Structure 1
Amino acid sequence: MSYSIAGKHLRLKRILPTGRGVVFAFDHGVEHGPGDFPREYLDPRVIIGKVVEAGVDAVMMLPGAAFITRDLWAGRASLIVKVTSKTNLRPEDGRLLQSVFGHVEDAVALGAEAVAATVYWGSQYEDAMLRQWFEVKRQAERYGYPCLQLSYPRGPAIKNMYDVEVVKYGVRAAIESGADLIKTYYTGSLESFREVVEAAAGIPVLMSGGAVRERFIDFLRDVENVVKAGGRGVVVGRNVFRHRNPAGAMKAVMKVVHEDASPEEAVKYAEQ
């Protein structure tokens, strides 16, 4: 009898409570630097408090941020601990390599529901990140923890990382490397993202929120297309924490994902 299988199933249900889920991504302070945040949200506790209050299903953070915000999300939102990252302070030719930023044991100690790690498929450092990924996967299996792979096709040979064939390739590599959840790029249309979902062969696919859309309603339309294509939701950061009303923006995303609200209806929550 493998209790770890049951544990993984239960934890996935908490992240995707309706079969879909909304995850707030909060690794930008390392990946992009503190300048990514509006000054009023530089303190992690401020923005985490707002998105948790809005009812987000899960928050994805590096171990340090999870620790200093623990009283805000504990018992209110599921935690996904991201155990790899990189800074933009390193030389540009090294930015396609993720480094170890924590361990599965840290996620267990923090009371997380899952662990996450990035693989830049097509990077010259792909092999190093796969070694990291499989070590994370091996440890997570022991504890019944699902593994979210941030499956990002990026590399010198990739001309357009949003091309549907490129994204599908990354998703196929993700499922064949044992991902339990996949975060990947939106390919620009409902029809093309349906192909991405099909390539995942039943493994839940979440859209990467990406850069800030000029109009928030356009982001909500992207989310709607993802859900209609069979995607299980979104991992969103900048389109929420750079919004003038982060809590309202998060509520709007939740309405689209969990209640099939139209973008026109949902955007009203962000405009309050």
Structure 2
Amino acid sequence: MNAGTRTRLDRIGTDGRYLVVPMDHGITLGAVRGLKDIESTIDAVTRGGADSVLTQKGIAPRVHPNKNGKGYIVHLNGSTVIGPDSDDKRMTSTVEEAVRAGADAVSVHLNVGSNHEPRQIEDLARVTDAASRLGIPVLAMTYARGPGIDGHDPESLGHAVRLGEELGADLIKTAYSGDAESFEHVVESTRLPVVIAGGAPEGDHATLAAVRGAMDAGGAGVSMGRSIFQHDDPEAITRAVAAVVHDDASADEALDLAGLSVEV
């Protein structure tokens, strides 16, 4: 890893742990709750302890004045839920465009096992090559998704994260397998830091318990979108997640520290 990549990787995390809040969902889902006034959401989550935020390139002017000095990642591909196939992620930007947008890092989504895997492998390989030349870190979002594939199966997830390393990424995001014991296999499948996706919100305690399990398995943090930016109090839930990721709090301790009630 060159000095530029290492330096910029430090900008999107803290001491090798990462709390990234992706908000590129506007291209996928539209201007859903939490993204209409994305300026206020970015301000809230970065005040709450997010290390970095992530959007598509066009949102960059709305990010920089509100991110409170935290890191910024530009996502380079996308699809919509109303299109013919939401797994068919197409390139929406380049590394050079991301640099012009003020990015500290870039990210690419790849659905391992889908019908679109071959082209997405080529896309990620091209991105890592271009990013390496410019000293830009690459977050590879490698999911196990396709016909007959269990997206939480640890063997499939292990394959997905290893693919990201094989293609030259610097940081890997994937789904959580459901428990710490099985997620250990996923983490051990690569030498790169592994962060978990948040997925659809399932309640504060469930969210924090998943983060705690991932960290116990050797994970490096989270890249969590909807569970944070659609929360009634984005700043508070970010503070709770940060307590688990950066301060090794339990789920209950994190809820208490953030002033959030425990669901019954």
| Among candidates 177, 182, 196, match of residue 207 of structure 1 | 196
Q: Which amino acid aligns with 1:111?
A: G
CA contact (8 A) 1:209 1:236 kept: yes
Note if 1:120 corresponds to 2:111: yes
- Aligned residue for 2:140? 149
- Aligned residue for 2:175? 185
What TM-score, normalized by structure 1, do the two folds share?
Answer: 0.91
Distance 2:127 2:167 in 1: 12
Q: Which amino acid aligns with 2:5?
A: K
Q: Give the superposition deviation at 1:162.
A: 0.7
**5 Å matches for 1:83-98?**
83-91=76-84, 94-98=85-89
CA contact (8 A) 1:116 1:149 kept: yes
Distance 2:115 2:18 in 1: 32
- Aligned residue for 1:15? 12
| Among candidates 158, 162, 166, match of residue 152 of structure 2 | 162
Q: Give the superposition deviation at 1:6.
A: 0.5
Q: Give the superposition deviation at 1:151.
A: 0.2
Q: Give the superposition deviation at 1:55.
A: 2.6
Q: Give the superposition deviation at 1:257.
A: 0.5
Q: Give the superposition deviation at 1:270.
A: 4.8
CA contact (8 A) 2:18 2:222 kept: yes
Q: Give the superposition deviation at 1:234.
A: 0.2
Counterpart of 1:69 in 2: which secondary structure? Answer: helix
What TM-score, normalized by structure 2, do the two folds share?
Answer: 0.94
Name the Cα RMSD after superposition. 1.5
Structure 1 gap segments, 5+ residues each: none
Distance 2:86 2:240 in 1: 33
| Among candidates 22, 25, 28, match of residue 22 of structure 2 | 25
Instruction: Render the CA deviation track for 1:48-77: whole Å, top value 9, x for unaligned.
Output: 12112223101111111222222112x611
218-227 or 262-271, larger mean C-alpha shift: 262-271
Distance 1:179 1:69 in 2: 24
Distance 2:182 2:130 in 1: 35
Counterpart of 1:34 in 2: which secondary structure? Answer: coil
Count of paired positions: 260
Distance 2:205 2:214 in 1: 14
